[in-house]
Amino acid sequence: MRTILLANLMFWFLSPALFSQKTIVLQPGPAEGKDAYINSAFPDDPGGPNVGLMACAWTFDGEFGIGRSLIRFDLSQIPPGTEILDARLTLYFDPDIAFGSQYGDNASFLDKVTEDWNENTVTWNSKPVSTEVGAVLIPETLIPTQDLVDIDITGFVSDWVNSPETNFGFVHRMATEIEYCCVVYSSSDNAQVSKRPKLVVTYRDCDPPIAGFSYSTQIPGVNFSDTSNSASSWFWDFGDGYFSNLQNPGHVYAVQGVYTVCLIVNDSCGADTTCKNVPVCEMPEPHYTYTSAGQMVSFHDSSTLPQSWFWDFGDGFYSDQQDPEHYFNELGTYYVCETVTNACSVETFCDSLTVISNSVAEYSPTSDVEIYPNPASDVVYLQLKSPVNHKVSIGLFNLQSVLLRTWITDITPAAGLVSLTLEGLSGGIYFLQTKMEGIIRLNKLIIL
């Protein structure tokens, strides 16, 4: 049902009766017309001007010759790129010209000429190149005085209007160039205006509309706004089996997702269609936490509405698991990014983490810092043997490299002793990290 409805609407939108059309009639005279007759029996004789033209295969003073005619119409009054709807050529028989009448098996062809020529100098030996590709067939005549009426050369004219530099006209030749056959007709040099070659061209004389739209979403509803450059009617396909002919409709979707929405617009010059993928769903919000055991870090996804994951650990390694584990080969600080995706969007969250070793075997106590008592229970004292006059940052880590507490204090030469409260910490092995002047000192601490 939806397909039938859409097809019917498209037929109405694209009906030629709705288009704004213009018709011109070209029937040039001696000054403007360009046509010439050439013959293989007189290979060096120039082609024009002549009051008559023909295509033939005949004998001339006992010598067989093939006659062909070249014709070109000036289409410069039609703007390049214009859509040609129809183009009809008529060639008129004139009993007063000296070539005789329509005769024999005289079906003929019009071939497109592909290089320039001069009607006053062109000869059989210098005839321009032509192509049989797209040739137009003119059926055999039925009576000796028949006009060749309404020959459809729409394809030729459309090509010439879209690419004016290729308009070199056409050549008229017999389909079978074997004696005796011919068609004869008047040229643009004929004194009778009504007998000259005539071309009637119908084309669209205005630009069709260009469809466009924007939208704003308030899930599950979407408001659509027409932004087309010109339109007199609208047809919306919301992508879920529903339609509208309003200019700026709103639509509520029953199911969240991404929908292909199409707008067809129409005016007197034609129709145009544009389509967009419209997300009708909530975007994901990425976030994660992590726990570490030395250089092994476990990441825990805490994102909202994700459907897929991509992790960049900042060291050249990646993962597409939801909760990956990763071993960092070197100690240091890394910028870890999690990218999550759902049907609506791709979003990224990044955070830094510092990887430090928790191995007692790798631990070397510093001689600059002394902690006591060690083991300790409620309070531990930190003594700098060479105190300086500025702030010192102190951090307490467990064996999984998780930062549990931080202290920032002033250390002066007169007071190099700091008291640190351990209340609430369970018994075990910990590390005290002292950071001063960019230098990190690490001490093992045992809490009872």
The full set of domain ranges for the chain reads: 2-12+209-280, 21-204, 288-355, 363-447
Q: Is the pLDDT of residue 356 over 90?
A: no
User: Taking residues 275-289, what's their average pLDDT?
Assistant: 91
Record: fold of 2-12+209-280? Immunoglobulin-like (2.60.40)
Q: What are the tens digits of pLDDT across the range 77-124? A: 998 878 899 999 999 998 888 677 899 999 999 999 999 999 999 999
Secondary structure of the chain in HEC code, one letter for each residue: CHHHHHHHHHHHHHCHHHCCEEEEEECCCCCCCEEEEEECCCCCCCCCCCCEEEEEEEEECCEEEEEEEEEECCCCCCCCCCCEEEEEEEECCCCCCCCCCCECCCCEEEEEECCCCCCCCCCCCCCCCEEEEEEEEECCCCCCCCCEEEEECHHHHHHHHHCHHHCCCEEEEECCCCCCEEEEEECCCCCCHHHCCEEEEEEECCCCCCCCEEEEEECCEEEEEECCCCCCEEEEECCCCCEECCCCCEEECCCCEEEEEEEEEEECCEEEEEEEEEEECCCCECCEEEEEECCEEEEEECCECCCEEEEECCCCCEECCCCCEEECCCCEEEEEEEEEECCCCEEEEEEEEEECCCCHHHCCCCCCEEEECCCECCEEEEEECCCCCEEEEEEEECCCCCEEEEEEEEEECCECEEEEECCCCCCEEEEEEEEECCEEEEEEEEEC
- Which whole number is the average pLDDT over 136-162? 96
Q: Which residue has the higher pLDDT, 416 or 126?
A: 126
Q: What is the pLDDT of residue 357?
A: 67
Domain 288-355 has CATH 2.60.40.10: yes
User: Which of 270-274, 290-294, 391-395 has the lowest average pLDDT?
Assistant: 391-395
* Fold designation for 363-447: Immunoglobulin-like (2.60.40)
What integer best gives the mean pLDDT of the chain? 87
At residue 187, does pLDDT exceed 90?
yes
- For residue 282, pLDDT over 80 is answered with yes
> What whole-number percentage of the chain has pLDDT above 70?
88
Is the predicted pLDDT of residue 405 greater than 90, yes or no?
no
- What mean pLDDT do residues 255-262 have? 91
Query: How much is the pLDDT for 388?
Result: 59
Task: Note the pTM of the prediction, 2 decimals.
Answer: 0.48
pLDDT of residue 359: 44
Domains 2-12+209-280 and 288-355 share a fold: yes
